[in-house]
Amino acid sequence: MRAIPTRAGFLNARSQGSKALSKGLVIQAVRLESTEWRVGLTATRKIGNAVKRNRARRRMRALAYDYLLPIAQPGTDYVLIARHDTITANWQDMAQGFQKAINYLHRTLAGKSVPSKSSL
């Protein structure tokens, strides 16, 4: 699992990708011409102070390791965006919603074509 290194990767997922909502977070995914998959985590100041944002990112990272790692598709960027209830949501509910959202995104992305590098 690699991290999305630049803001451009996050913006590409927002503008070119698909989005799914789940308990505690928003998930965006976009297909790329690559053989590896990447993940990006973000928590804005709307979530709270630095302690709360870090806790939200830790929870999202744990979701990615536990539930995304086994089913991630090569050539896909996943962006996980924290919401207000990310830090307080029940873990099982969050995990179940996360799995449903990822499956939805995989079905949605299967119908889309991969953008070429010239269009990015």
Region class of 36: left (phi > 0), else alpha (psi between -120 and 50), else beta: beta
Asked if residue 114 has pLDDT above 70, the reply is no
Burial level of 53, CB count in 10 A (0-12/13-18/19+)? buried
Of 26, 44, 36, 33, give the one whose Cα is nearest residue 4.
36
Q: 2-109 domain in CATH 3.30.230.10?
A: yes
Average of per-residue pLDDT across 66-75:
93
Q: Record the pTM.
A: 0.88
Q: What is the pLDDT of residues 10-65, one digit of tens each?
A: 999 999 999 999 988 999 999 998 899 999 999 999 999 999 999 999 999 999 99
Q: In this predicted structure, what is the pLDDT of residue 15?
A: 94
pLDDT interval class at 115 (50, 70, 90): low
Domain spans in the chain, listed from the N-terminal domain onward: 2-109
